[in-house]
Amino acid sequence: MGRARLATQTHPSGGQATVTATYAHVAELAGWLNLSEAGILHLAGSDRLRFLQGQTTNDLRLLLPDRGLYTAFCTPTGHLLSDGYVLEADDGFLLVLPPETWGDIADRLSKAIILDDVVVLSLQEELSLLSVQGGSASDLLEEIGIAPPPALPLAHHTHLWQKAEIRIIYNDRTGFGGFDLLVPYTILEELQTALVASACLPIDAALATVLRYEAGVPQAGVDWNERTLAAELHEAFVQSHISYTKGCYVGQEVLMRIHARGHTNRRWTPLRVAGTTPPPRGTPLSAPDRPDAGWITGAVISPALDGAVLAWGFLRNEYLAPGTTLQVGTEPPMLATVLPGAPRPARWLAL
């Protein structure tokens, strides 16, 4: 199928039709996500490693000059404040955080600096985050003259493009593979034009939600909030974001107790829902022996499940076994079956 035929979605924008990527387009070629509202912080100073090591869940001693780490920030009680990732770059650390959380994390880090030689700067005015995702993302970047790093979680390097430095990071947000690009605003429009000219089209919000749910990527403020324990997200998130061997950090005591116990009381889990209408966020899930077995955080029509409804939600441990059937609290009620995992898991862990 030709590139033009894969891109058939149009949306009105200011009276003009905007062409956006379809699911098939992303699967076969690539599309791009506008993540310009994400937070990009730079931490510098001789105490930066010790300081950030005590604030975040992963072991930053494992950072390499060309490989970053996923991480998270928690309250002292182990509740999740933010996810994100850290890179060693520009004589310091680059910290990339979701739009929903970065302001609070920047404020927390700044307030935690007392006698430390640490400086926290926001790069919001200088850099934008754009993510190219899809089955041919690597080839497409090469086509426009940008050399991608290896397809390893958070492998990264810089590349000079149109006389400006872009940092390219392998970060799979969709299960199809892809790259985050930290782009100076001076060339952002030119880069977007080059991507569209190569049939890499923007991914709209609805498709982005489908792709991230199929990949098992939770979103701050939607799938988790400050009442969610970091260990309650699925196993791939826990393995890639949390260290149980690094020593003290905010929330470590509670997370270590959970780890020693072997489980939390609930976990974020995928389900296949009967019917054709995705149940709304917050819909309760019940079992024959328990009316409050869990609740749904979001649901979509999933091409990866042949058009069935894919939902994610928090379930109590007793109901996590794949194949377990639960009742969805819609009117009329529907049935949901627990899936063994995300239909197309994001590559957060090195193979």
Please identify, in words, the CATH class of the domain defined by 1-262. alpha beta
Side chain identity at 340, as an amino acid letter? P
Strand, helix or coil for residue 92: strand
The mean pLDDT value for 157-172 works out to 97
Q: Is the pLDDT of residue 3 over 60?
A: no
Contacts of 129 (CB under 8 A, 6+ apart): 35, 36, 38, 40, 96, 180, 181, 182, 183
Spell out the residues 6+ positions from residue 174 whose beta carbon is closer than 8 angstroms to its own.
26, 133, 134, 211, 212, 214, 215, 217, 344, 346
What is the residue whose two structure tokens read 């905007």?
18
Domain-wise residue ranges, the chain = 1-262, 265-351
pLDDT tops 90 at residue 13? no
40-64 pLDDT, tens digit per residue, is 999 999 999 999 999 999 999 999 9
Q: What is the CB-side half-sphere exposure of residue 3 using CA atoms within 13 A?
A: 13
Q: Is 82:102 a contact under the CB 8 Å cutoff?
A: yes
Q: Who contacts 201 (Cβ-Cβ below 8 Å, separation ≥6)?
A: 7, 19, 20, 21, 25, 31, 32, 195
What does the alpha-carbon distance between residue 93 and residue 87 come to, in Å, rounded to a whole number?
6
d(CA 76, CA 111): 15
* CATH classification code of 265-351: 2.40.30.110
At 176-197, the pLDDT tens digits run 999 999 999 999 999 999 999 9
Give the whole-angstrom CA distance, residue 234 versus residue 320.
11
